[in-house]
Structure formats: C-alpha cells, structure tokens
A and B are shown apart, each in its own frame.
Chain A
Amino acid sequence: MTTTVAPAAPAVHARGLKVRQLTCTIGAELSNVNLGAASRDAGLVAEIRALLLAHKVLFFRDQDITRAEHVAFARHFGDLEDHPVAGSDPDNPGLVRIYKSPESPNDRYENSWHTDATWREQPPFGCVLRCVECPPVGGDTMWANMAEAYKRLPEHVKTQIAGLRARHSIEATFGAAMPVEKRLALKAQYPDAEHPVVRTHPETGEKVLFVNAFTTHFTNFHTPENVRFGQDYSPGASQLLNYLISQAFVPEYQVRFRWKPNSMAMWDNRSTQHYAVMDYPPCHRKMERAGIMGDKPF
C-alpha cells in the first residue's frame, strides 16, 4: 500500500486547524477552521491548498458562511466560471446552484463517475461545494483518487496507454437528451475537447488517469501494434476505454461523504473523479458550487 497511515489523533496545524484522514487513499476532514475567515487569511488558504494537494478532497462541517465568503474563498484559487446547463446565483456569479426539489426531474447527470467539465479545453482546477439543504438521509457524494488508479494499473496497460489521447463531449452527455437543434448548438459552442489519457498534475507532477464519463473515444489508438486488423480498432479501443473508465469503481480508491447542512467539500478536479449518489426520493436538496478555472491538461 502506498499512502502512510495517519496517526489515530488528528494532526494539528497552524491556527489550530485539525486534519483527520477519512481513508488511507483519499479525503481528509478539516476541523477548527471557518472558510469565511479563511477567505480573509492568505496564510490559511495556503495551508488548505497544501492539504488539498495531499488529500485531493477536503471536507468541512458547520460552515455557516455567506455566499460572498464562499465565492471569496474559492477565488483565492483562481477565477470562477458558470455552467452552460446548471444555472448560477445571479447575485454571485460563479456560484452554480445545484438545486433539486420534488418538482425537478430526476435527471441523472451527476451519478456517474466523472471529472467536472472535461468537455472544456481547460477543465476546472477544482470546486468548492457547500450543502445548503439536504435530506436527512441519502444523497452522499463519493470521490476517487485517479493518481492512485493510474499508479496501480498493470505495467502493460501503462505501456499501452502512454501517449494515447481521447475526446470528451458535452454533446454526448448533457446534450444527449436535448432536441437535435439545441444539442448541435451546444456542440458548436463547446466543441468536443481532446485530452491526454494520462495527464500530469501541474503542481504535484503525479500522473493521473484522465478518462471519465465525458470521454467518448480514443483519437490516436490506431498504431500497428494496437490495430493488427481493422476490427481491433473499434471493439478493442472501446474495451480498453471501458476498462480504464471502470478503474474509478474500485473501492480502494474511494471515499464516501455524508452531507449535513453547512457541510462543505473542496476537491482537486485534476486528480479525482466524483459520483453524486441519487438514492433519495424527490425532496429539497440544495448545493452551491464554486467552480475554479483550470489550465490545459498535459
């Protein structure tokens, strides 16, 4: 096993910040910290940033902060961006509202393993998500460590996928249930992006397996070794893609988090995937997400 096992007692950091690992692989709960105060404290932000790189997703409880503080905290990490399909708070641009209600359809976009917005040329750096209202049980969110998923691939798979590239599509995902003209307009606005199948984390240098539910196909699979006969191209490539995508399903790479009102999560979108479990009956569930712009994967 790779990661060091944490001591039983939470580690204590500057300003009393406490850190408790939730699994051996990914995720830590921070306590004794208020992100509203952190939004005005660059030193504390730097500490949280270092912990994010170490644990990939951070959790916080009892964050009774304002929307302005939420945005201000997230903006320490970069500019925010809205989502073309999910709407934002008009008073707080960049704060995307993921609101479910008994009247809203059960639309099943978030309950697949995905990295946010890889259909963009520059997918987000990460997100800061706050639970405003949630059902008493259900609606957990899970994250998977895709650096660990890459590290533990068999060597022959690592060799096969080195240099491979894949296309990612909003049209084939958020667009797939739209009327054709709306779907094509969405595709025209956000042309399918191509990314490396293995990306390098720009800050830690880790290699990360970087295909997910937005990925439709490989773009440069056709080498003499991969394609012995023409028919290897299509089934071979999709079987390999399915195999890679299914790595996020491995429980050893995952953490599962149960929300309460005022719980927050911050994740590094460059090295994780997540899955929002939709097991709850129609109800009010209100999440607000600040998405931080990222850079072009390499």
Chain B
Amino acid sequence: MATPSPAVIRKSMVVEPMTCTLGALLSHVDLGDAARDAGLFAEIRALLLRHKVLFLHDQTFSRADHVAFARRFGALEDHPVVGSDPENPGLVRIYKGPDSKNEQYENAWHCDTTWRECPQMGAVLRCVESPPVGGDMIWADMVEAYRRLPEHVKAQIAGLRARHSIEATFGAAMPADKRLALKAQYPDPEHPVVRTHPETGEKALFVNSFTTHLTNFHTPENVRFGQDYSPGASQLLNYLIAQAFVPEYQVRFRFRTNSVAIWDNRCTQHYAVNDFWPAVRKLERAGIIGDRPY
C-alpha cells in the first residue's frame, strides 16, 4: 500500500489531507513568515478554501505576528463575553484551568458568532499551553452536510430562514437584567438556513447551536394544521442541526502547545471537547469579521 504522498506546494510547504472530507495539516511553513509574505499568504488562503480547516504544529510566532497574519484575511473583532489580550486587540483569550469555571459553551456544534448580523469569516487559533492529553477540537464540513441531505429535505428548506441568539446561549445563565442588556446590544439576527459561500459559491447548511427557531416555516404545505408549526419546525431544525454530528463530515485534531488551527467559519462548524478541565489549557483566537450571509 502506498504511503500518503503529501503534495508539495511551495518551496518546502507540505499539505497532507487528514480525512477525505475536510482538514489538512500544513508543515514546513511558519505563519509568522506568512504574515509578511503576501504570496505565501495567498497560497494558504487558497488552501483554506479548499480544505476548510488547516492545522499546523510548532508555530512559535509572536502575538503581534498572530494578529498580523489573521488581519490579512480581514479586520478582527473582540468577543462580548470572552476577554481579549489588552496589548493585542482582536486576540481573544480562551484560558481554562483550575481557576476558571468548567463552562459548557464551546462543546456544542457551532459556527462562531452567528448571533451577529455578520458572523465571522473565520479564525486563527493557537494553543499556547495544552494539557498533556484531552481538549481536542472537531470540525464539520457543512457544505458536505448540505450536499448529502435527501432531495426532499433540500426542497423543503430552500428559502427557509432562522433566528440566532446570543441571549439564549451565552446569556442563558446570566441574571435577567444582564441577559436582557446583552440582547439589546446584540439583537437576534436572522440568517438563511442554507447560505451560499461568497468565495466558492458552495451551498452550506447554516443552522447551529445558536439557532433558536425557523422564522418563515409557515407555508400551506409545511403547516397543514396549526400544530404542525411548533413541533414540526423544531423537529426539522433538530434534524438539520444534528447533521454536524455525522462522523463522515468531521475531522478531529489533537492540539499540542504551539499548534494552530485556521478555519473558514462560513462553511464549517466546530466542537471543543471539554474532557480536560481542570487541567490548564490556553487558546488565543483571532476572529476575522465576515460579511452578511445570503
């Protein structure tokens, strides 16, 4: 049996697909160099569109380089709940350990920030301290999830729209006044259930754990009787959300200290496995502002 022969793209950069569906490991490349090299960056960007999530090990670049590399994709944004590095705005710190709470926000299948009108285009995440074992992350290919839906489901969801909510997710454990203030600041946006990727033109299934309900489900065909509205819509939504659970659409990555993941948030979901707490794990994420889904 032939051993995998990773493609050599440029100079010495090596690209090794990690599953048949999504995810590739890049080696012999430093993202600090890519922050200063438009040609190298363009190759990485093309690889991201193709593989949807890219992984690298042994990336010891500075925080300034981290931000500079990510900014080549677009402007960065902070997170209203998770704090950023004060010296590097846009670099969100996801630090866990004995002093942090054992929170359950990241271990749900989600696209980042779909509670915004313009959810993130993607993110560049580096692990600056990893536990000895545990804390893997999993990504799912939502283009493949859409492509392999039964035709009758594709027909049923064409044109459907859904509402996404920070209040119902990050806000759900807050006292009522804080939760309502969060909702006032970030009103629940509406997005298409199937979005079109603005660069590749691919259709992607675009509901996730931030999605609360379908907003225009009530057609004569969908709602034969009033009671079809509520259970029917939530069953359909659950079915759609559950597509990310299919292992054929997934790649699982084990972080080491200085491992990096770059993902396209427009066509993937991810799940951060929370099996390591209270061991220490420190992640730093540069989230890139995206455009309005259509």
Residues on A lying within 8 angstroms of B by beta carbon are 1, 3, 5-8, 21-25, 111, 133-138, 140, 142, 249, 251-252, 256, 258, 260-261, 275, 277-281
Contact = CB atoms under 8 A, between A and B. Distances in A.
A86 B254 CA distance: 34
B215 interface: no
Contacts of A279: 19-21, 248
A24 B247 contact: no
Given A252-B274, A279-B21, 9 more contacts: A5-B276, A5-B279, A7-B132, A21-B133, A23-B134, A25-B134, A25-B275, A138-B20, A252-B275
Contacts of A140: 19, 247
Contact of B1 (A133, A249, A275, A281): A133
Contacts, number: 79
B245 A24 contact: no
Contact of B2 (A1, A136, A256): A136
Given A138-B20, A252-B107, A24 B1 contact: no
B278 A6 contact: no
A251 B107 contact: yes
B133 A22 contact: yes
B74 interface: no
A249 B244 CA distance: 10
Given A24-B134, A251-B271, A256 B252 contact: yes
Contacts of B1: 133-134, 136, 261
Nearest to A113: B247
Contacts of A136: 1-5
A137 B17 contact: yes
A21 B254 CA distance: 12
Interface string B21-44: 100000000000000000000000
A-B pairs, 6 with minimum CB distance: A138-B20, A136-B4, A24-B134, A24-B275, A279-B20, A8-B132
A5 B131 contact: yes
A295 to B, nearest CB: 30
20 contacts: A1-B275, A1-B276, A1-B277, A5-B276, A6-B132, A22-B254, A25-B134, A25-B275, A135-B20, A136-B4, A137-B16, A137-B18, A140-B19, A249-B245, A251-B252, A256-B247, A256-B252, A277-B19, A279-B248, A280-B20
B14 interface: no
Nearest to B253: A256
B289 interface: no
Contact of A138 (B19, B102, B134): B19
Interface of B: 1-5, 16-21, 102, 107, 131-134, 136, 138, 245, 247-248, 250, 252, 254, 271, 273-279
A168 B73 CA distance: 52
Contacts of A278: 248
Contact of A137 (B19, B134, B252): B19
Instruction: Count chain B CB atoms within 10 A of each CB in A25, A256, A280 and give the residue with the most.
Output: A256
Which secondary structure characterizes the binding site on chain A?
loop
A23 B133 contact: yes
Nearest to B109: A251
Nearest to A141: B247
A25 B274 CA distance: 11
Contacts of A251: 107, 136, 138, 252, 271, 273
A277 B248 contact: yes
A277 B249 CA distance: 9
Instruction: Count chain B CB atoms within 10 A of each CB in A22, A140, A280 and give the residue with the most.
Output: A140
B69 to A, nearest CB: 27
A256 B248 CA distance: 12
Contacts of B247: 111, 140, 142, 256, 275, 277
Contacts of B102: 1
A137 B277 contact: no
A23 B248 contact: no
B82 to A, nearest CB: 21
Instruction: Count chain A CB atoms within 10 A of each CB in B19, B131, B278 and give the residue with the most.
Output: B19
Contacts of A280: 20
A249 B107 CA distance: 12
Nearest to A26: B275
A6 B133 contact: yes
Contacts of A25: 134, 275
A24 to B, nearest CB: 4
Contacts of A261: 1
Contacts of B131: 5
A59 B131 CA distance: 21
Nearest to A281: B20
Nearest to B254: A22
Nearest to B245: A249
A135 B248 CA distance: 15
A89 to B, nearest CB: 19
Contacts of B4: 136-137
Contacts of A252: 107, 273-275
Nearest to A136: B4
Nearest to A25: B275
Given A136-B2, A136-B3, A24 B19 contact: no
A47 B123 CA distance: 44
A25 B252 CA distance: 15
Contacts of A134: 1
Nearest to B247: A277
B281 to A, nearest CB: 11
